[in-house]
Homo-oligomer: A and B are copies of this chain.
């Protein structure tokens, strides 16, 4: 007869619950306890049985992740991190691209899609709280929208991060600072928050924001940033001396337009983005940015969903809102290159 959970518990001198926590990859087990349990698992040749585990839980072992678009490097990185965070639990993650459509997001939350999934991690764009009924999939919401809504929620403080990016430019002495990524519709909460942070940092310094320096964009991609930068340069007799872009791809596109106009970054115009994607580390100039702790967002999303699916007392607590940290990453696009002699 193969060894069972209770054999492992007896050998390790811990409770069955603790062994289960280790096997299920939960974080809140002390490292030495975890090591003792793992040693007992190895010694006995215990093999956790995910199928039995799922049947016991009544679940499929499959969760869905829905993001607006995979073409965005930020969401592609986030998706990869969520897949990795879900792996120790034996979960399969199915990813769906919503294009930000409210109807699609609503159907996902309601579990109306035909495939059987246990839960959902959703980065909503069009959805609003009224569209989330009582009878729905266990759901964790990501991103700055719908904080304080009807479901668990993980996000950074977008306004604070935007203010940090703007303060960085102000501290470097810039005074005509443009913004690329302004909201085209009032419902674009994420963008509106970033714009609010941009304005707040100006207000702190007693500066007004010149409305001609706020560029609205339809998308958040490289091409949108390149076009918005061209618009800023063409429409302002006095060009900006710095630009805060609401995503890193917008910033990389803006830098390309500067190169096309033979403007030096940051000598003529300093540029900072928002995302912390890998591409910004390797661009020329490398890109200053504010970076959410994306790995932590992924881990929280999976852990919160696991608690909802776990069926214990944690499954019924009121919706929780987790605010994840961000950090300012200053690179060449604001600081300049180290001199050649260095």
Contacts and interface: CB of A to CB of B under 8 A. Distances in A.
B282 A222 contact: yes
A71 B70 CA distance: 9
Interface residues of A, number: 43
A234 B262 CA distance: 32
A113 B283 contact: no
A95 B71 CA distance: 13
Contacts of A255: 284
Contacts of A259: 284
A96 B96 contact: no
Given A71-B80, A76-B73, A283-B256, A61 B114 contact: yes
A83 interface: yes
Interface in A253-273: 253, 255-256, 259, 262
A69 B80 contact: yes
A282 B281 CA distance: 15
Interface in A75-127: 76-77, 79-80, 83, 92-97, 113-117
Interface string A46-78: 000000001000001110100001110100110
A163 to B, nearest CB: 27
A70 B95 contact: yes
Interface of A: 54, 60-62, 64, 69-71, 73, 76-77, 79-80, 83, 92-97, 113-117, 221-223, 226, 252-253, 255-256, 259, 262, 278-279, 281-284, 286, 340
8 closest A-B pairs by CB: A95-B95, A94-B94, A256-B282, A76-B76, A222-B282, A115-B115, A259-B284, A70-B76
11 contacts: A70-B79, A70-B83, A71-B77, A73-B76, A92-B96, A92-B113, A93-B97, A94-B115, A95-B95, A222-B278, A253-B282
